[in-house]
Amino acid sequence: MSEQPWWQKAVIYQIYPRSFQDSNGDGIGDLKGILDRVDYLSWLDIDAVWISPIYPSPMADFGYDVANYVDIDPLFGTLASFDRLLSALHQRGIRVILDFVPNHTSHEHPWFQEARASRNNHRRDWYIWRDPRPDREPPNNWLSVATGGSAWEFDRATGQYYYHAFLAEQPDLNWRNPAVRAAMYDVLRFWLDRGVDGFRVDTIWRLIKDAAFRDNPVNPNYRDGDPPFRRLLQVYSTDQPEVFEVAAEMRRVLAEYPGDRLLIGEVYLPVKRLVAYYGPNLTGAHLPFNFNLMFVEWKPDAVLRLIQEYEASLPLGAWPNWVLGNHDQARIASRLGLAQARVAMTLLMTLRGTPTLYYGDELGLENVPIPPERVRDPFGVNMPGTGQDRDPERTPMPWDRSANAGFTAGEPWLPLGRDLSIQNVEAQKRDASSMLALTRALLDLRRRELALSVGDWAPLAVEGDALAYIRRRDGRRFAVVLNLEPVPKAVRFADDLRGRTILSTHPDHTGYAVGDRTELDADEAVIIAMEHAGNTARPDATG
């Protein structure tokens, strides 16, 4: 069997660059800041970083509005500082994944400036232009994710609407135009030539829209509190079959380069649709991000069903992946509470497939409440009071007990949270019972035991309302048993596990022999090393 590509065993760590480390006192994280923290990343022992966009941008969507795909925003640094960071990370064996934002550019991108200059500009068809309806209304009913209003912006000068799935400052590119494709593939090559190890492709499932721009149907299940754009089902505005051809083309660009460059796709779809993004014959994304753990009901049955459905739906040869947090969703510690965040981390690091860890989740960082006057995220500004603000999960990384937790010598762009005396890297490094210590122990175990990263996964039948499964590779077998509730549980297994707990969310609970039952504390998850499969039939030498 051929050696697995690096990303199958890898743990990916997402850095939101504005909030990781500021190096020049302007209150905004930057590349030099990340460089100053490379030792931390190396100590934590992650395999790859994915850095959210760092390209020149007017920052209407904090970098997801790119004005130049082949440079670095001065706020973050320069191409030279990027190269320094890349080589420092590579020296420590850490790969670098960039965020690629192909669905839309900034309205300040020269391509859009040309496109909007006149109806017959040679770049006009690089974007999506439509005539108004006879009543002057937008061409169809599609809604913007970023505002909840129409996704069409009228351009007075040329008398047509352009489409923007997100902000009006983020016009969608026309991916049916081969010239757009060619230009964007050259962008990939620019960064691949520089040595990056892969891309996370922003909102890949939106690249191709219905050719006839039909109205989206009303969502009968819309409920108060859902994001406003969900009033319609995105049937025609997303997830069109021609998108797989685009993903395959991107994949082929990566294949021009040696070293297993990685293509990750951002896809918010249920399992059945999500797995299509591996592409026909696995020609699509290596890893279509699997976000379903972030939305599943936190009960043993529901989580088990999700894992089984996902495992069963994977095309032959497709590699799984799991995500617990990112810069668009509430922090896991706020969704489930700190105690369950430890259980969730244990789950993430013991499932089959590549885990992605969001910066700060290793500390159990919580959503930071943002006073209305400090809201910066356009979702929060445009849809106040609807819970859409993403600032709470994007706040600065707390490093130590100094002013602003060591993040900046200036005024941080977003406020830091409470409890910084405990929730900081330095304090948690010294505390064997901290979330950071747990995360690191899990990463360490996962690196040492291939069964936990690339081994087989199988459910383990238990009595007692816990989530349980087995990981196995060669002779090595581990049982993972997780209590998803804040009450103790007595768990009974069908067979004698003949094992010993080697890791627990409760630090002193290791080293216990486990037979056909075990007691879990409230909010406790344990990893049990089972006796070698081959050992079970060994005659007792002391007879």
Binding residues for Ca ion, rule: CB under 5 A, are 22, 24, 26, 28, 30
* Cβ nearer to ligand NOJ, comparing 172 with 523: 172
Outline where 355-481 has alpha helix (H): 378-382, 425-430, 435-448, 450-453
Question: Residue 5 and residue 443: Cα distance in Å, rounded?
Answer: 18
Query: Which of the listed partners (ligand NOJ, Ca ion, none) does 101 bind, with a CB threshold of 5 to 8 Å by partner kind?
Result: ligand NOJ
Query: Which of the listed partners (ligand NOJ, Ca ion, none) does 334 bind, with a CB threshold of 5 to 8 Å by partner kind?
Result: none
* Bridge partners (DSSP) listed for residue 457: 471
* Cβ nearer to ligand NOJ, comparing 286 with 327: 327
* Cβ nearer to Ca ion, comparing 30 with 485: 30
Question: Residue 394 and residue 449: Cα distance in Å, rounded?
Answer: 33
Between the alpha carbon of residue 291 and those of residues 61, 71, 243, 322, the distances in Å are: 21, 30, 20, 7
Please tell me which residue in 39, 131, 256, 431 is annotated as part of the active site. 256
Question: Residue 421 and residue 428: Cα distance in Å, rounded?
Answer: 9
Question: Residue 83 and residue 240: Cα distance in Å, rounded?
Answer: 37
Query: Which of the listed partners (Ca ion, ligand NOJ, none) does 197 bind, with a CB threshold of 5 to 8 Å by partner kind?
Result: none
The strands making up 321-323's β-sheet, listed across from edge to edge, are 287-288, 262-265, 198-201, 95-100, 48-51, 12-15, 354-358, 321-323
The yes or no reply on residue 389 touching ligand NOJ (CB under 6 A) is no
* Cβ nearer to ligand NOJ, comparing 246 with 427: 246
Question: What residues from 240 to 299 belong to the interface with ligand NOJ (CB under 6 A)?
Answer: 266
Phi/psi for 465 (5° steps) reads 60, 50
471 within 8 A of 350, measured Cβ to Cβ: yes
Residue identified by tokens 């067979």 is 495
Extract long-range pairs of 146-152: CB within 8 Å, 24+ residues apart. 146/61, 146/170, 146/378, 146/379, 146/382, 147/228, 147/382, 147/383, 148/227, 148/228, 148/229, 148/231, 148/382, 148/383, 148/386, 149/228, 151/237
- Residue of 328, 400, 426, 519 interacting with ligand NOJ (CB under 6 A): 328
* Cβ nearer to Ca ion, comparing 142 with 399: 399
The yes or no reply on residue 523 touching ligand NOJ (CB under 6 A) is no
Q: What amino acid is encoded at 430 in this protein? A: R
Query: Which of the listed partners (Ca ion, ligand NOJ, none) does 28 bind, with a CB threshold of 5 to 8 Å by partner kind?
Result: Ca ion
* Cβ nearer to ligand NOJ, comparing 147 with 424: 147
* Cβ nearer to Ca ion, comparing 17 with 380: 17
Residue 199: CB minimum distance to ligand NOJ, A: 13
The DSSP H or E segment spanning 536 is none
Query: Which of the listed partners (ligand NOJ, Ca ion, none) does 153 bind, with a CB threshold of 5 to 8 Å by partner kind?
Result: none
Query: Which of the listed partners (Ca ion, ligand NOJ, none) does 202 bind, with a CB threshold of 5 to 8 Å by partner kind?
Result: ligand NOJ
The DSSP H or E segment spanning 345 is helix 338-350
Residue identified by tokens 């996370």 is 200
Question: Residue 379 and residue 101: Cα distance in Å, rounded?
Answer: 18
Query: Which of the listed partners (ligand NOJ, Ca ion, none) does 423 bind, with a CB threshold of 5 to 8 Å by partner kind?
Result: none
Query: Which of the listed partners (Ca ion, ligand NOJ, none) does 42 bind, with a CB threshold of 5 to 8 Å by partner kind?
Result: none
The yes or no reply on residue 97 touching ligand NOJ (CB under 6 A) is no
Q: For residues 171, 174, 179 and 184, what is the CA-based torsion angle, rounded to 10 degrees?
A: 60
Q: Active-site residue 239, yes or no?
A: no
* Cβ nearer to Ca ion, comparing 125 with 400: 400
Please tell me which residue in 202, 389, 449, 524 is annotated as part of the active site. 202
- For the window 172-211, what string marks contact with ligand NOJ as x by the rule CB under 6 A? ------------------------------xx--------
Residue 231: CB minimum distance to ligand NOJ, A: 19
Residue 211: CB minimum distance to ligand NOJ, A: 23
The yes or no reply on residue 61 touching ligand NOJ (CB under 6 A) is yes
Residue identified by tokens 């721009």 is 213
- Residue of 101, 232, 349, 460 interacting with ligand NOJ (CB under 6 A): 101
The yes or no reply on residue 64 touching ligand NOJ (CB under 6 A) is yes
536 within 8 A of 510, measured Cβ to Cβ: no
Q: Active-site residue 202, yes or no?
A: yes
Looking at beta carbons, which residue is closest to ligand NOJ? Answer: 64
160 within 8 A of 132, measured Cβ to Cβ: yes
Q: What amino acid is encoded at 455 in this protein? A: G
Residue 28: CB minimum distance to ligand NOJ, A: 16
Catalytic residues: 202, 256
Residues in contact with ligand NOJ by CB under 6 A are 61, 64, 101, 166, 202-203, 266, 327-328
